[in-house]
């Protein structure tokens, strides 16, 4: 059985690369168009499947798609992804598969608008309908927030009952998250600077403010470890004892940052599920994310472990 489960969204990314991002009301001509599999959950699941040890068991992926052409296409792709178990993907009749419209400019900045479709229909009943064996052997559950909070919480509770470590990537910070019980069951929280600011009320400008924000989050929710991802600056890790360490990112020529955070989370989860020491898992995840931004697209940018495992740093 799987040692790692990922629960989250599946989208088909409709990507337009252009010279500059449009302002409200502005039309920007030119650019190239492509369709790429995406969604935070799917990106993290694929990153996990590619970023674990070579002998790791399959990554179980719990998600939903619509009963439409987009859904059939992406499920087939995930069935063909090595080390990814797509058997838990639910097809929802009457719903469209989630779609993300993504604009990327020449400075690798992006704008994203998401129509959730079937992602919003992934239900508590879908989680409760899974057999106990799906949760009994889990080492890690990785969740992100493009599916309903109550559904996430149902998976968290079943996973935690079996002894799994819970990693929550609070992306996006949805309304009601701070008041929801799911936050009290999280072991490792992985916000970026903006999400950490939303949860703590502290604007993050540097390492010191990231540490301050993380300590507020730890006190508020009782989370053991907060990892604040800071883009090209790397990450800051803070624990409940008040100590912290940094992992700096290597300098690279970024062309597209679309799935960098998902890459970090997926590789972190995969390495922890494989038994890696926490600091080494973080360092490998930073290396993988840094490599991903040198490539275009979401899942097309996610590296295999052989591409980054020989270059980790602390």
- 262 labelled catalytic: yes
Provide the mean pLDDT of the chain: 93
Q: Does residue 254 sit within a domain?
A: yes
Q: CB neighbours (10 Å) of residue 203? A: 11
Convert the pLDDT of each residue in 143-162 to its tens digit: 999 999 999 999 999 999 99
Scored b (16 or more CB within 10 A) or e, 123-154 reads: beebbeebeeebbeebbbbbbbbbbbbebbbb
State percent of the chain over pLDDT 90: 82
HEC sequence for 282-303? HHHHHHHHHHHCCCCCCHHHCC
pLDDT at 306 over 50: yes
Give the dihedral of Cα atoms 206, 210, 213, 217; nearest 10 deg.
Answer: 170
Domain contains 166:
yes
Tokens of 217: 């989050």
Number of domains making up the chain: 1
> Rounded to an integer, what distance in angstroms lies between the CA atom of residue 270 and that of residue 213?
26
- Measured distance CA(157)–CA(304) in Å, rounded: 31
CA distance 273 to 55: 12
How far is the C-alpha of 152 from the C-alpha of 167, rounded, in Å? 11
Domain that holds residue 255: 4-21+32-311
Do the domain assignments include residue 179?
A: yes
The predicted-structure confidence for 259-291, as pLDDT tens digits, reads as follows 999 999 999 999 999 999 999 999 999 999 999
Does residue 160 lie within any of the structural domains? yes
Query: Which of the following is catalytic: 13, 85, 256, 262?
Result: 262
Question: Which pLDDT tens digit goes with each residue over 170-195?
Answer: 999 999 999 999 999 999 999 999 99
Q: How far apart are CA 95 and CA 189, in angstroms?
A: 31
Cβ neighbours of residue 27 closer than 8 Å, sequence gap 6 or more:
none
Q: Is the pTM of this model over 0.85?
A: yes
Asked if residue 161 is part of any domain, the answer here is yes
Tell me, yes or no, whether 234 lies in a domain: yes
Does the residue 26 lie in any domain?
no
Has residue 97 been placed in a domain?
A: yes
Element (H, E) at 135: helix 133-136
Read off the pLDDT of residues 65-96 as tens digits, 9 standing for 90 and up.
999 999 999 999 999 999 999 999 999 999 99
Cα dist from 127 to 6, 86, 156, 190, 203, whole Å:
12, 15, 10, 23, 36
Helix H or strand E encompassing 92: strand 89-92
Q: Are strands 188-189 and 165-169 parallel, antiparallel or unpaired?
A: parallel
Q: Tally the C-alpha atoms within 13 A of residue 13's C-alpha that lie toward its C-beta.
A: 26
**CATH code (residue 233):** 3.40.1190.20
């Amino acid at each position: 059985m799987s040692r790692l489960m990922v629960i989250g969204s599946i989208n088909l990314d409709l990507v337009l690369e252009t010279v500059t991002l449009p302002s409200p009301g502005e039309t920007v001509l030119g650019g190239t168009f492509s369709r790429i599999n995406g969604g935070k959950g799917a990106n993290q699941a694929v990153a996990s499947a590619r970023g674990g040890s070579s002998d790791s068991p399959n990554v179980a992926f719990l998600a939903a798609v619509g009963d439409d052409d987009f859904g059939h296409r992406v499920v087939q792709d995930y069935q063909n992804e090595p080390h990814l178990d797509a058997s838990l993907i639910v097809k929802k009749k009457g719903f469209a598969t989630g779609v993300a419209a993504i604009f990327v400019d020449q400075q690798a900045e992006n704008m994203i608008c998401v129509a959730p479709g079937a992602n919003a229909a992934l239900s508590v009943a879908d989680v409760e309908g899974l057999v106990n064996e799906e949760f009994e052997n889990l080492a890690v559950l990785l969740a992100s927030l493009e599916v309903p909070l109550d559904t996430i919480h149902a998976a968290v509770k079943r996973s935690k009952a079996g002894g799994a470590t819970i990693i929550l990537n609070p992306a996006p910070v949805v309304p009601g998250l701070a008041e929801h019980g799911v936050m009290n069951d999280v072991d490792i929280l992985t916000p970026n600077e903006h999400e950490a600011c939303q949860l703590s009320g502290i604007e993050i400008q540097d390492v010191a403010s990231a540490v301050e924000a993380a300590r507020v989050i730890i006190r508020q929710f009782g989370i053991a470890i907060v990892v604040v991802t800071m883009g090209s600056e790397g990450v800051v890790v803070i624990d409940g004892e008040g100590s912290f360490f940094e992992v700096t990112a290597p300098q690279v020529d970024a062309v597209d940052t679309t799935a960098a955070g998902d890459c970090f989370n997926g590789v972190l989860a995969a390495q922890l599920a494989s038994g890696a020491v926490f600091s080494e898992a973080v360092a490998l995840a930073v290396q993988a994310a840094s490599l991903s931004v040198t490539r275009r697209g979401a899942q097309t940018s996610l590296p295999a472990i052989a591409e980054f495992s020989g270059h980790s740093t602390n």
